[in-house]
Structures are given as C-alpha cells and as structure tokens.
Amino acid sequence: MSLMLTKEDLAKYPFLKESATFVESLQLDLSDLATEEYSCVLMKALARIRNGIDRTAKPVDLSDPETEILAYPLSLAFVYGSKSNWLLNRFATVEAKRVEEELRREPEGKLVEIAELGFAWDIQQENLKLEWEELSFSMPVHAYLEAATGFNDTHWKLINRYVKGGRVFLNSGSLSRLISEGFKMKIIRRGAERELADFRLPEALRRHLDEIMKYAQRNAQYDEKLPQGLVSDARPPCIVAIMEDVKAGKSLSHMARFALTTFMVNVGEGVDEVLKLFGNVADFDEGKARYQIEHIAGMIGSKTKYKPPKCDVLRSFGLCVGMNESCRNAKHPLNYYRRELKRMSRFGGQVDARGRKKRV
C-alpha cells in the first residue's frame, strides 16, 4: 500500500487499485457476502444504492472502513445485476459527488497520489498564483482533454484554462472534479463491457435486488417524461396557492420560489415563461431571477435539473395548503400532477401534444 493511503482512504476512494487488491486478498465471492456473517456489508451496500436513488451523497462510515471497502463492490454488483441504465447512471453520479466532496477536504499531496494511483495521470504540484486564483497542480493537455470530455460548461474548455509547456494548470477544486468524473466514467464504462452482459446475481441476493428495484421504481416515477407545458387544471393545491401569491405581488419565501420554479421547469415550461411569472413580485430582479431559473433547470452550473421538494418538506415550510382528495396518496407535487393528467385524460379532458387540456 502507498505510504500515504490508509484503510479509510480505500473506503472513501474505491476506484483505487489498492481497494480492489484489499478485496481480492479476502478471497470472498458474492455468495459469501449474502451470508449472516457479512450482513453488515449487505446493509451498507443496500444503503449506498438507496443513497444513489435518493441523490444523497453521504460520506462513508469511517468507523468501520473494512465493511465499507467490501460494501462498494457488492453495491456495484447489485447495480450491474439490475441491468438498469437509470440505476447505473444515478448510482455513478451520486458516488462521484460523494468522492468529490471527500477530495475537496484532502491535502494537496494526497490529491496528487489519488489521481496518479486511480487514473495514472501525471500530476505535478505547482505554485502559480494568478490574480484571481491559485493553481496548485498541472497535468498534460492530452490527459486533461480526455478527463474533461464529459463537461459542457465553457470554463472547462482549453481556451479558458491556463496552459504552459503542454500542461494544463488546475486548482484543487478542478482536480477533485476531474477525479470524481473519472470515477463516474469508470463505473459507467465498466457497465457497458461485454463480459457484464451475462452477469447475474447469485440466487441469495436476488430478493434484495427486487427490493431495490421496487424502491427505485417508486422514486424513478419522478423522472418519467411529462407532456411539455403546464396543464393548469392538473396543478396541485400548493402550487396553485404559490402562483396566486405571485400574481398578487406578494413577496415569497425562498422555499416557495424554489418549489414553484422547480415545478415549472419539470413540467416543461421554458425559462422565459417562468420568468414572466415572477414579474409581479416586489423585489424582482430579472438578471438574478434568470440566472437562478437557468441554474435550477440544469442549463448552467452543476447541470443538474432540480426536482420540486417532496410534500413532507413543503408541509414543514407551511406551503401545503390543505390537501384535497388527490393529495392523499401523493407524496410529491409531481406525482399529484401526473395522476391528475391521467385522470383528466380518462374522464374526457384529454391532453394534446403540448400537454394542454383538450375539449372533447
């Protein structure tokens, strides 16, 4: 093992060769991990997948690093065994997010070591102080281009980077992001390899896979495609109430703005339509509002399209304004909306291609 890497590091960064070596040294197979003796490992692996489904990047439990080291390949086996690209992408994205957060807390020397051991990148420590930032690392241009291919944001373009002597200079945040993206791609590419096409989980683990898939399906509903554009009659009461407050020019809490904006972008309204809604609000600042809407819609920044908060959260912020009959089983405003669309089309209020209610 490297001089600087501890077992805790292997638990945090499962893409390191040393983590795999540690697992191999135990000579266990997947069926062993389904036995009572390894129930802690199984629990941790399942929790890790649920975190992926919930988009929650929780740090690993460093009080028991060996269990965490073993839980990672088991969670990966579940993900590959599910044959679900949705689950694979969600798991890889959240694991990458978790790793990025861990890396941002590491000293510079360790970042270099992790990048080298994990991806064989030739990273050098630098000490370049520009007017607006400090660039503490550099890597060869070709390696940088390969590592940053998945990023659309313009600040990753080579033209916007400091390049000298065939090397791209980076700050620690950028290097952490590149490493975490490399990890994400590793998980996704491995899933596409031919040898995994026939991979099946051992019988003893299938029951857990079924539970995971049920859990994923309940949550995956949020990702189902909705018709483009708001269908007013299908709006849940909480969103109707916020829209009425907006219309009346009342000032809105941060959560109310967030709930309304996320709801609108998720039902397919464009930035300009959402912007128009807020025009009446007393402290309206178009530039700021546009930036926030674009961010929430995943057009800029982290490129993540945000979902509206669940009903529980809206309730705790006092934004759930008395549930109606349809609210009873809806745990999420988008569930409510989706069900209302279905109900409307069943009872004659059909929905056209833009999602607008049609007269029949």
Judge whether 128 and 85 are in contact, CB under 8 Å.
no
351/312 Cα distance (integer angstroms)? 29
Under rule CB under 6 A, residue 308 binds ligand SF4: no
Judged by CB under 6 A, which of 14, 65, 191, 333 binds ligand SF4? 333
Among 23-31, 152-160, 234-242, 265-273, which window interacts with ligand SF4 (CB under 6 A)? 234-242
The tokens describing 331, both together, are 């745990």
Please identify, using beta-carbon distances, which residue of 81 and 236 lies nearer to ligand SF4.
Answer: 236
- Give phi and psi for 134, each to the nearest 5: -110, 125
Under rule CB under 6 A, residue 231 binds ligand SF4: no
Please identify, using beta-carbon distances, which residue of 10 and 320 lies nearer to ligand SF4.
Answer: 320
174/159 Cα distance (integer angstroms)? 15
The tokens describing 153, both together, are 């944001």
20/38 Cα distance (integer angstroms)? 18
Judged by CB under 6 A, which of 320, 338, 340, 351 binds ligand SF4? 320
Under rule CB under 6 A, residue 111 binds ligand SF4: no
Judged by CB under 6 A, which of 45, 53, 123, 311 binds ligand SF4? 311
Please identify, using beta-carbon distances, which residue of 233 and 285 lies nearer to ligand SF4.
Answer: 233
Under rule CB under 6 A, residue 11 binds ligand SF4: no
Q: Is the dihedral of CA 94, 134, 110, 140 positive or negative?
A: positive
Judged by CB under 6 A, which of 28, 188, 323, 344 binds ligand SF4? 323
Please identify, using beta-carbon distances, which residue of 59 and 318 lies nearer to ligand SF4.
Answer: 318
Under rule CB under 6 A, residue 229 binds ligand SF4: no
Under rule CB under 6 A, residue 314 binds ligand SF4: yes
User: Cβ of residue 71: shortest distance to ligand SF4, in angstroms?
Assistant: 34
**Number of Cβ within a 10 Å radius of residue 306:** 16
Under rule CB under 6 A, residue 336 binds ligand SF4: yes
25/82 Cα distance (integer angstroms)? 27
| CA dist 253 → 56, 246, 249, 259 (Å) | 24, 11, 13, 10
Residues in a beta bridge with 219: none
350/247 Cα distance (integer angstroms)? 27
Under rule CB under 6 A, residue 49 binds ligand SF4: no
- Interface pattern 260-299 for ligand SF4 (x via CB under 6 A): ----------------------------------------
Among 106-114, 261-269, 295-303, 323-331, which window interacts with ligand SF4 (CB under 6 A)? 323-331
User: Cβ of residue 273: shortest distance to ligand SF4, in angstroms?
Assistant: 21
Strand, helix or coil at 355? coil
Strand, helix or coil at 130? coil
133/53 Cα distance (integer angstroms)? 36
85/3 Cα distance (integer angstroms)? 37
Under rule CB under 6 A, residue 330 binds ligand SF4: yes
Judge whether 309 and 255 are in contact, CB under 8 Å.
yes
User: Cβ of residue 315: shortest distance to ligand SF4, in angstroms?
Assistant: 6
**Residue whose token pair is 């033209």:** 159
Under rule CB under 6 A, residue 256 binds ligand SF4: no
The tokens describing 167, both together, are 């090397």
Under rule CB under 6 A, residue 327 binds ligand SF4: yes
Under rule CB under 6 A, residue 202 binds ligand SF4: no
Chain centre distance of CA 140? 29
Please identify, using beta-carbon distances, which residue of 93 and 335 lies nearer to ligand SF4.
Answer: 335
Question: Count residues contacting ligand SF4 (CB under 6 A)?
Answer: 12
User: Which residues in this chain contact ligand SF4 in the complex, by CB under 6 A?
Assistant: 236-238, 311, 314, 320-321, 323, 327, 330, 333, 336
